[in-house]
Amino acid sequence: MLSTARAATVQHSGSIGANTVWSASDVHEVVGDVTVAAGVTLTIEPGTVVKFQGGRRLFVDGVIDANGSAVEPIVFTSYRDDSVGGDTNGDGPSAGVPGDWGHIELRDSVVDSLTSLSHFEIRYGGAYGHLLYVAQSSPSFSDCLLHYSSTRGLSVYAGSPEFIRCEFSDNAEQGVFHDWSGSP
C-alpha cells in the first residue's frame, strides 16, 4: 500500500567531510550527488530509508557502514517510491520506476576491511549503467536485494567483492557484470 502522507526528510548533497550518521528516524533524500570523502565513515542505521532524486548518486571514497537487520533493512530507492518512507515528493501516491536515479559507487580508496553493507535493498536506479558499482575494491555484502534497475544490478571493475545471500532480480540487463580483472 502506498502512503499518501507527506514524509519529513533530511536532504543531502555535496561532500561528507566528517564521520556522519544517517538515522532511521528520518527519511534521507539525496538531492545532489553525495561523496563520502576518504578517511570518513558514513554510518546508516538499520531501518533507514534513503531516497534519491533523478540521476543522483552516492560515491564512497571512505567507509560506508550500512548494516540493517532482517526486521529493519536499509532501503536505497527512488524519491517517487512511496512504499517506504511515505510521500516525500508530495505528489500523492506514486511508485518508483527503473532508472529514476543513478547508483551507489564504491571507489578504489574505499577501506575494504571497514566497509560493510548487510540487510539492504537497492531499487529503481540504474540511470548510469548499474545500481551498485564496485571499482578496484573488495568489500563484503550480505543479505541484499538489488532489483528494478534500468540497466545492471551490479558492475565490478578490478575488484573482488564478496556477496553472501544476495539476490539480483528484475533488472533490464545483467544482474551481475564484471570485467576481466574483477570477480564478485
Domain presence at residue 65: yes
Evaluate whether 74 touches 68 at the Cβ level (below 8 Å).
yes
- 178 pLDDT band, cuts 50/70/90, is confident
Q: Which of 37-41, 110-114, 121-125 has the lowest mean pLDDT?
A: 110-114
Domain presence at residue 90: yes
Provide the pLDDT for residue 7: 61
Domain presence at residue 2: no
Domain presence at residue 29: yes
Residue 34 has φ and ψ, to the nearest 5°, of -120, 135
* Farthest CA pair distance, the chain: 47
Encode pLDDT of 15-51 as tens digits.
Answer: 999 999 999 999 999 999 999 999 999 999 999 999 9
Residue among 86, 172, 92 at smallest CA distance from 129: 172
Domain presence at residue 164: yes
What's the domain range around 116? 9-178
Domain presence at residue 173: yes
Domain presence at residue 1: no
Domain presence at residue 52: yes
Encode pLDDT of 141-159 as tens digits.
Answer: 999 999 999 999 999 988 8
Structural domain total, the chain:
1
CA dihedral 172, 89, 48, 42 (to 10 degrees): 90
Q: What DSSP letter does each residue of 83-143 carry, written as one string?
A: TTT--TTSSSS----TTSS--EEE-TTS-TTT-EEEEEEEES--TTSEEEEEES---EEEE
